[in-house]
């Protein structure tokens, strides 16, 4: 069973976070979404409070989604559900749809829409960030107390405008990113999303104009059906929940009607 933070009542709304994060990434929008929906924010296997997949099972997106669907079944949720994902979680949401278990999908800066593999610089950038934080987590927590430093350090991995995050949220996000036990294996097993043209449920995809992590080459529209709704929010970066919680909530609720 995957760890899940649940809030609200109504039709289930599944939230999936990006690599190196946890369900905590959705905390800025949980209350807004829970006014209308039963919100289920999961920790993906190997992240947050959910253990890694069993030994011998690589954490590829298809394997992670298989584990997620097992968890939903164990919760008594067998019907197609509305799924929202960010980054790796967006890729997972698309995979849920490909398997026919999504009622609708909203994918925010989804990974996997590149040709072959992610850009090599992303792996090096992630490695530098994780190594620096592991070397001096206390210093990172101290730096995150400054709005200017939050802006400088988090503008690429999270979003331009990260000074709006609280110091405690920024510190938690940085520490989770650095010490997530499933990070390296998940990144090593990142190929590319396949089979997206077969998806039949409604799809909404948003890449912020300030997403400096997954740029144009990682936003291949031909990977998804022609009816997919595409958005380019002006002030969003890669993880926009802290920067524009109301805008993110509106996109999610509009895309999962």
Quick one: pLDDT at residue 117?
Answer: 79
Q: In this structure, is residue 134 part of a structural domain?
A: no
How far apart (Å, rounded) are the C-alpha atoms in residues 58 and 52?
9
Total structural domains within the chain:
1
- Residue 46 in any domain: the answer is yes
pTM of the model: 0.97
Write out pLDDT tens, residues 226-243.
Answer: 999 999 999 999 999 999
Residue 215's pLDDT is what?
93
- pLDDT tens, position by position, 209-222: 999 999 999 999 99
| Angle in degrees, CA 166, 85, 227, rounded to 5 | 135
Is the pLDDT reported for residue 120 higher than 90? Answer: no
pLDDT in tens, 2-20: 999 999 999 999 999 999 9
Any idea what the CATH number is for the domain that residue 107 is in? 3.40.50.1820
118 pLDDT higher than 90: no
pLDDT value at residue 68: 98
Q: Is residue 35 part of a domain?
A: yes
Q: What range defines the domain where residue 20 resides?
A: 4-118+191-255
pLDDT in tens, 48-70: 999 999 999 999 999 999 999 99
Q: Whole-angstrom Cα distance, residue 104 to residue 81? A: 7
- Give CA–CA dist 124/137, Å, rounded: 19
Residue 21 has pLDDT above 90, yes or no: yes
């Amino acid at each position: 069973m995957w760890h899940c933070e649940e809030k609200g009542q109504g039709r289930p709304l599944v939230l999936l976070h990006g690599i190196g994060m946890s369900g905590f990434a959705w905390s800025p929008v949980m209350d807004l979404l829970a006014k209308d929906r039963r919100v289920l924010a999961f920790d993906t296997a190997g992240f947050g409070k959910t253990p890694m997949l069993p030994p011998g099972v690589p954490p590829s997106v298809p394997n992670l989604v298989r584990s997620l669907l097992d968890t939903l079944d164990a919760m008594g949720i067998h019907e197609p559900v509305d799924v929202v994902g960010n980054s790796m979680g967006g890729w997972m949401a698309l995979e849920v749809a490909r398997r026919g278990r999504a009622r609708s999908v909203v994918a925010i800066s989804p990974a996997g829409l590149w040709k072959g593999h992610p850009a090599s610089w992303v792996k090096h950038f992630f490695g530098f960030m994780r190594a620096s934080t592991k070397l001096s987590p206390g210093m990172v927590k101290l730096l995150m107390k400054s709005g200017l430093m939050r802006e400088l350090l988090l503008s690429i991995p999270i979003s331009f405008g990260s000074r709006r995050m609280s110091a405690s949220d920024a510190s938690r996000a940085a520490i989770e990113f650095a010490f997530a036990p499933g990070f390296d294996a998940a990144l090593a097993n990142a190929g590319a999303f396949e089979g997206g043209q077969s998806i039949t449920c409604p799809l909404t995809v948003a890449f912020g104009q300030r997403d400096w992590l997954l740029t144009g080459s990682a936003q291949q529209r031909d990977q998804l059906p022609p009816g997919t709704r595409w958005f380019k929010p002006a002030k969003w970066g890669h993880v926009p929940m802290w920067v524009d919680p109301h805008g993110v909530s509106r996109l999610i609720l509009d895309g999962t009607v």
